[in-house]
Amino acid sequence: MPQTRRGLLIILSSPSGAGKSTLSRHLREWDPDISFSVSATTRAPRDGEVNGQDYHFLTEDDFKRQVAEGEMLEHAHVFGNFYGSPKGPVKAAIDAGRDVLFDIDWQGAQQIRNSDLGRHTLSIFILPPSIAELHRRLVSRAQDSDEVIAKRMQKSWDEISHWDGYDFVLVNDDLEATDAQLKTIVSATRLRRSQQPGLTDHVRRLQAEFEESK
């Protein structure tokens, strides 16, 4: 059987607080071979965030220089700060047959889908069960000030309104159920024809065997 496979670009988007960081962590625990695309951002680190692990924290000048030099696969302005996905690590992982997970907004998802890596992309949008629950989760996460939470809630409709540009949409009500759905989607998409470059050779071999057996 063909062993080689091409890496997938797995994009998770949602309004802030719907659960994409939690789901993305669980997906990587399920398959530690999935690498995470560490974004660059100009926003300040939150308590506990580690430079190079959660984000590459950059000055606005450095961020803009990297964009100008074509080092970002995509980039966007979100909540008053710049965010972008560095291209180098993504290309390296995909070429080595490893999947890369992105926690990015709809603008980034759209840019990647329209890039030359678009056909290797799996995009998933996470919806909250209700707006009240979205607010509850933002508050319970206890990471942001009331002002930032209010800003994120205001922005949430902006993000939700782009739900229909994604391959799959999950309503993250019961966390275990959503975890399971996410794994099912990833497992199935790995079998997409475009992800299995070894298939052509395999079918050629089958054809040769078929001819021989006549």
Which single residue brings its beta carbon nearest to ligand 5GP?
A: 108
Give the shortest CB-49-to-ligand ADP separation in angstroms: 12
Give the shortest CB-119-to-ligand 5GP separation in angstroms: 20
Pure H helices in 128-198: 131-141, 146-160, 175-189
Residue 125 binds ligand 5GP (CB under 6 A): no
Residue nearer to ligand ADP on the CB measure, 57 or 79: 79
Q: Are 9 and 121 in contact (CB under 8 A)?
A: yes
Per-residue three-class SS string for 43-102: CCCCCCCCECCCEEECCHHHHHHHHHCCCEEEEEEECCEEEEEEHHHHHHHHHCCCCEEE
Q: Out of 100, 104, 117, 122, which residue is the one contacting ligand 5GP (CB under 6 A)?
A: 104
Residue 85 binds ligand 5GP (CB under 6 A): yes
- Which residues contribute to the site for ligand 5GP (CB under 6 A)? 16, 39, 43, 74, 76, 78-79, 83-85, 103-105, 107-108
